[in-house]
Structures are given as C-alpha cells and as structure tokens.
Amino acid sequence: MTKVAILGASGRMGRTLIGLIAAADDLELVGASTRADSAAAGSDAGLIAGCGALDVTLTASVEDALIDADVGIDFTLPAALSSNLAAAGARGCPLVIGTTGVDADGLRAIDATARTLPLVFAANYSSGVTLLQRLVRTAAAALDSDYDVEILESHHRGKRDAPSGTARALGQSVAAGRGVDLASNAVYAREGMTGERPVGAIGFQALRGGDIVGEHTVMLAGDGERLELTHRASSRETFARGALRAARWVIAQPPGRFDMDDVLGLRA
C-alpha cells in the first residue's frame, strides 16, 4: 500500500486526487495540506472531496502532511513551491509536482532538491498530452519555417497563469524540433498594428472562460494546407490519474528530476 500526501488538497486537483485515492486498492491518503487561511483548514480531507470521512485532517503544515507519506503530490501555487520542496527534503519524501507557472528560480529549486530526492515535474500529467508533445516535435522538425506555428490554449475562468504550462511545453517541443530557442521566437498574443508575422515565430494565444478543463491546439499553417494537433480534456481525472501513475512510479527511483516521458517509458 503506497501512502500518499496531497499538497493543495482543497483545490480542484487536490479534491479530485483525494477521491481517486479513496477509491484505489493500492493507495492510502495519509496527509493533506492547504493554506492556513483556507476555509477547509481543519476539515476532514474526504469530506471536502465528497467521498466520505477518511480521518485525515487538512493541515497548514506541509511537513506534518508529509510525515507518514511514501510520496507527496503537489498541486499548489508557485509561491509555495520552495517551501514545499524544503519540507519534502526534510522528510526525505519523493514528490510529484503539478504546479504550473514555475519561474526560473522555481526550476533551480527543483533541480537542487532533485540531487537528493526523486522528483517528477511535468507541465501536464495527461498521457495524451505527453504523446502530443512528441508528435508536435516531430511535425515541427518535418515542416520547416515555411509553416507558421500557433499554439492556442483554453482553460476555465479560475486559471491564474497564461499561457498554460502545457502550452509553453508544446512551444518547447516546437523549438526543439526546429533546433531554435523558444524565448527568442515566442510571440505572446497580438494587438494593434503588429506588422507582418516574423518568419519562425512561435505564437501563443490563451482563452479563459467557464469551466473548460483544458484544450490545446498546435497549428502549423503553410501555403495551401494546415495541420492541427489537438488535445481536449473533459475531466480533471485525466490529469489526476497521470499524477497518481507518476506517484506509484517515482517511489522506486533514485534521486533525480523526471517527467512523464520517464513515467511512461518513452525516454529515448
């Protein structure tokens, strides 16, 4: 039985993960954390997830949440990442990181912690999106800069970062396929008299509204034809199941930073 702690347990993904853990035969929820100012603090994790009492209380202390865990799953905000990594390091607890909008400092903190702990960090835990990234890299390599690339993503009204981490990862796939630097070629939205589209630009557009779980399309538009590669998620369980798959996998790994290619056995 793998003992799991959820960081960010009162959020959308946290609640979904708790429900799936409660229904799994090989997983046990042993810890759950939330912000100190959350209305859910002190509540039973199962009750806030709608799956019945689990005798696990939501705590503001990440270290307390991790104390009995074999693995932690972090779906909090970027501001909490550094302290969450420190708590995981102090407890010697492997971590699956689902936080999006991580900046350069956050990436450095992940890499530093990965010297002593196995960590899985992915922009998206969907198996379909993992495969989409590979398809996009292949398409970008095969279709040169005569094909203009635009990445369109749509999410629910509550999403805080834009473009999404998945859209940025798809942009990295395009850049890797073409052997270019994403930062030098990315164009984030447009307004006004922008002039002609630069050759080789990798465009991003972000839409927000309603309860859209997540949709991503990479368009490669040439003269006379257009290729579109699309992934649509209809349930957060898609991402939660992937994160749980990563949690089961990472506990048997040595220290290091891994992603879903590793978890799915796709690493070349």
| Known active-site residue 155 | yes
Does residue 96 sit in helix, strand or coil? strand
Q: What are phi and psi of 36, to 5 degrees?
A: -60, -30
| Known active-site residue 231 | no
How far CA 125 is from CA of 66, 73, 90, 105, 238, in Å, comes to 21, 12, 26, 22, 8
Q: Can you say whether the dihedral through the CA atoms of 248, 254, 257, 260 is positive or negative?
A: negative
Helix (H) or strand (E) segment spanning residue 12: helix 12-23
Please choose, from the candidates 202, 197, 183, 196, the residue with its C-alpha nearest in 3D space to the C-alpha of residue 140: 202
Between strands 214-222 and 225-233, the pairing is antiparallel
Catalytic residue among 3, 156, 159, 231: 159
Structure tokens at 268: 């070349």
By annotation, the residues acting in catalysis are 155, 159
